[in-house]
Amino acid sequence: MIVVGLTGGIGSGKTTVAERFKTLGIPIYIADVEAKRLMRTSKIIKRKLIGLFGEKVYLNDELNKPFIAQKIFNNQELLQKMNAIVHPKVRRHFERWLDKQTSPYVIKESAILFENNLQEQCDFIILVTAPKEIRISRLLDRDNTTKEKIEAIMSNQLSEEEKIKHSDFVITNTTLKNTYNQVETIHKVLLKSVKKRKF
């Protein structure tokens, strides 16, 4: 089974691209969503996160996202420790999910694919990108946040230039029509690649 990594910086439009692939019949595994679900449901992860952050990491048995965000904000060491707890479990969950798929290829979406060396699990990588100002504008419209917080998150992510170097495809997500066209072109290329591998 061919695994295609889908990544991009905050506000780039990964979800829009993933949804388009989904309409083409491609299964999507959203690593960030599964990570949060496992942080909420896995007893082992819960115990380790409480050990790392303290009891306030859960509020009424729910993940205390604002508390975690505040703790890891500009604290790279704490972020890495949290990822070391969560991501091995996500990886195993993805492998079990992958075994059940029957499509020509699947997409694994992760905002921090490169930062967590998840590219090693992928046969191809698609990077979604957009100009910084457009990304900031989208996030200000979507989230209850500030420009300063967005820029701090961006500074913690790998630069667009570095991501481009390690990607097989780059989707520039500025207009919906153009983005959809790029998705369909990549889809055709990937299907051809799957056929070649079968022979």
Q: Does residue 198 surpass a pLDDT of 70?
A: no
Q: Which pLDDT does position 12 carry in this prediction?
A: 93
Q: Which pLDDT does position 178 carry in this prediction?
A: 97
Q: Does residue 10 surpass a pLDDT of 80?
A: yes
Q: Does residue 135 surpass a pLDDT of 60?
A: yes
HSE of 121, CA atoms in CB hemisphere, 13 A: 21
Burial of 100 (0-12, 13-18, 19+ CB in 10 A): exposed
Please tell me which residue, 45 or 153, carries the higher pLDDT value. Answer: 45
Q: What DSSP character marks residue 142? A: H
Q: Give me 1's structure tokens.
A: 């089974």
Q: Give me 54's structure tokens.
A: 């303290």
Containing H/E element for 105? strand 105-109
Q: Which pLDDT does position 124 carry in this prediction?
A: 97
Q: Which residue intervals of the chain are DSSP H helices? A: 14-23, 31-41, 43-53, 65-72, 76-99, 132-142, 147-156, 160-165, 176-198
